[in-house]
A and B are shown apart, each in its own frame.
Chain A
């Protein structure tokens, strides 16, 4: 009987990304294929979602684009932010295989999302009994701000009128126009929301509206409504570091706005490349999600026949 590994399996890989970014795998026999593998050469070898962080020379200052704004382009590691990809809140007790961690919430200072009472209950219920609704299980994109800290890292591209973030995980992207245009019309709801950006000095401020309610803040039931409004601030520190914070505001779910913060760190592996990642093409999870790990849904979704 094919016991699936649910989207939580994807979350397993998040930790791999965390771990390997810091600790390269122990040396194995070098791979045979033309000696091209395993040495940080072409093809993105060097681990998950980034490179091994070796002993550090201090990074130089960031460079600037032709329009004078900071150049943030390059590959950025999967986040090292207290396990927020699993549980964005402070989580001092290991639970269901997820180790303790501080999460990424910095305001309120206790690290917990300031839910309204009904919402706090709903979040707990989702985690306990409705993990069948976990978005990654369905190959849904992760939404804002969760997308920023998924496993395997991302790539930033900047052009005269756009900033683009592109993830290996599920080939997600966020296209953020910086040409001063308004948001899209109110009636359109998107998994990634609609983002518009502008510069305040050397900080890129990104305003996101028009989300739908199908993404979570993490993989632990911290849900959102489609009224959520997120303001992110990306402030490059040096060539290899960007300070990131996001303020999340939704008066229908929270008692007040709350904030996450952590740093993006650059992938240092030379010749690093992202790879294709198919989700729905091989997604076994949806039919196999059982009650064993908290999914109590009776809905059986049969995706179309998989790869022959």
Chain B
């Protein structure tokens, strides 16, 4: 009986420890989210639930709201998505080596590295050496900009980094399947380190020109633990140019 109790307490203690993981602090006394992270989901293929096709595995998608996992498109926007899907082999901006935007940059199949400084957080992606600067110094969005990655302003809520992203153009997709948005896109991200090697990522997406209501994605990012792991390069446009020159594209 007592041994049983001890075991139960130990188990509870472990569960509690996992539930209440607290990230260590950076030099600037912020929760430390630094490291090289990468998503394992294939949301970059499609953020919605999808069956496999040749070259692309099946996936449950990453949409947690609405509960059916499907993007709540307005009818005209749905038609555009379907057209995008048909043309995706040539129309996908990431296929043209363009900046992928937010949130897609987060779940590309490439590593992401986070650096934290007093007034901003820098997120660097191996894909086309893209990076975002998330200002956490109380400054406001830049007015009237039209960025691929949007303009990011963040703040801490406890141990969660909350980032408000606006000032997007309409030239990025959410995935390879043609899921799109207008330049009214507004994204709110939440980053929480829930374990030493897990960064929980959520994003609420709204765009009244495209969707009937906001929707939300969630996925874990995993820490790269290979020794001396570092970002290399994927200079997409250099390879694309070579492929065009040698006729393979």
Contact = CB atoms under 8 A, between A and B. Distances in A.
Nearest to B170: A308
Interface size class on chain B is: 35 or more
A301 B244 contact: yes
A190 B232 CA distance: 7
B124 to A, nearest CB: 6
A178 to B, nearest CB: 12
Q: Interface residues of B: mostly helix, strand, loop or mixed?
A: loop
B135 interface: yes
B209 to A, nearest CB: 16
A256 interface: no
Interface string A213-254: 010000000000000000000000000000000000000000
B41 to A, nearest CB: 25
Interface residues of A, number: 52
A274 B133 contact: yes
Interface in A169-205: 170-173, 175, 177, 181-182, 184, 188, 190-192, 194
B26 to A, nearest CB: 7
A291 interface: no
A164 B124 contact: yes
Interface of B: 26-27, 34, 90, 95-99, 113, 115-117, 122, 124, 128-131, 133, 135, 139-140, 142-145, 147-149, 171, 228, 230-233, 235, 237-238, 240-241, 244-245
Nearest to A175: B231
A139 B230 contact: no
A128 interface: no
Interface in A273-291: 273-276, 278, 280-281, 286
Given A65-B27, A157-B115, A184 B232 contact: yes
B237 A139 contact: yes
B99 A281 contact: yes
B115 A278 contact: no
A182 B228 CA distance: 8
Given A139-B237, A159-B27, 15 more contacts: A33-B144, A42-B139, A43-B143, A138-B237, A159-B115, A159-B117, A171-B129, A171-B131, A173-B129, A273-B133, A286-B241, A303-B240, A304-B90, A304-B95, A307-B171
Contact of B140 (A42, A192, A281): A42
7 smallest CB-CB distances across A and B, nearest first, come from A304-B96, A276-B147, A43-B142, A280-B237, A181-B228, A66-B27, A190-B233
